[in-house]
Amino acid sequence: MMPESHDTIAERIRLQGMRLTSAEHRLVDALFANYPVAGLSSITEFAASAGVSTPTVLRLAKKLGFSGFPAFQAELRAELSAQLQNPIARRDRWASEAPEEHILNRFSQAVLDNLRTSMKRLDHREFDRISELLAQRRQTIHTLGGRITYPLAQYLHTHLEMVRPGAFLMPAQPALWPQYLLNLDRNSLLVVFDIRRYDPQILEIAKLADARGAKTILVTDQWMSPIASFALHSIPLRIEVPSSWDSNIAPLFLIEALIAAIANHHWPETQRRIKELEALTEAQRKGRK
Q: Is 232 in contact with 185 (CB distance < 8 Å)?
A: no
What is the DSSP track for the chain? -PPPP---HHHHHHHHGGGS-HHHHHHHHHHHHTTTGGGGS-HHHHHHHHT--HHHHHHHHHHTT-SSHHHHHHHHHHHHHHHH--HHHHHHHHHHH--SS-HHHHHHHHHHHHHHHHHHHS-HHHHHHHHHHHH-TTSEEEEEE-TTTHHHHHHHHHHHHHH-S-EEE--S-GGGHHHHHTT-STTEEEEEE--SS--HHHHHHHHHHHHTT-EEEEEEETT--GGGGT-SEEEEE----SSSS---HHHHHHHHHHHHHHHHHTHHHHHHHHHHHHHHHHHHHHHH-
Domains in the chain: boundaries: 1-84, 120-278
- Judge whether residue 95 has pLDDT over 80: no
pLDDT at 289: 61
Q: What is the pLDDT of residues 198-224, one digit of tens each?
A: 999 999 999 999 999 999 999 999 989
Q: With 0-12 CB in 10 A as exposed, 13-18 as middle and 19+ as buried, what is 99?
A: exposed
- With a pLDDT cut of 90, the percent of the chain lying above it is 64
Q: Is 66 in contact with 75 (CB distance < 8 Å)?
A: yes
- Global pTM? 0.74
- Sign (positive/negative) of CA torsion 78, 85, 201, 231? negative
Q: Is 26 in contact with 50 (CB distance < 8 Å)?
A: yes
Q: What is the pLDDT of residues 21-79, one digit of tens each?
A: 999 999 998 998 888 888 999 999 999 999 999 999 999 999 999 999 999 999 988 88
The pair phi, psi for residue 132, each rounded to 5°, is -65, -40
- Judge whether residue 100 has pLDDT over 70: no
pLDDT at 93: 58
Mean pLDDT for the stretch of residues 2-24: 78
Q: What is the pLDDT of residues 139-171, one digit of tens each?
A: 999 999 998 999 999 999 999 999 999 999 999
d(CA 33, CA 21): 18
Higher pLDDT, 90 or 286: 286
Q: The domain 1-84 is classified under which CATH number: 1.10.490.10, 3.40.50.2300, 3.40.50.800, 1.10.10.10?
A: 1.10.10.10
Fold of 120-278: Rossmann fold (3.40.50)
Mean pLDDT for the stretch of residues 114-120: 90
Q: Is 249 in contact with 107 (CB distance < 8 Å)?
A: no
pLDDT at 34: 83
Task: Residue 252: name the closest of 158, 170, 161, 171 by CA.
Answer: 158
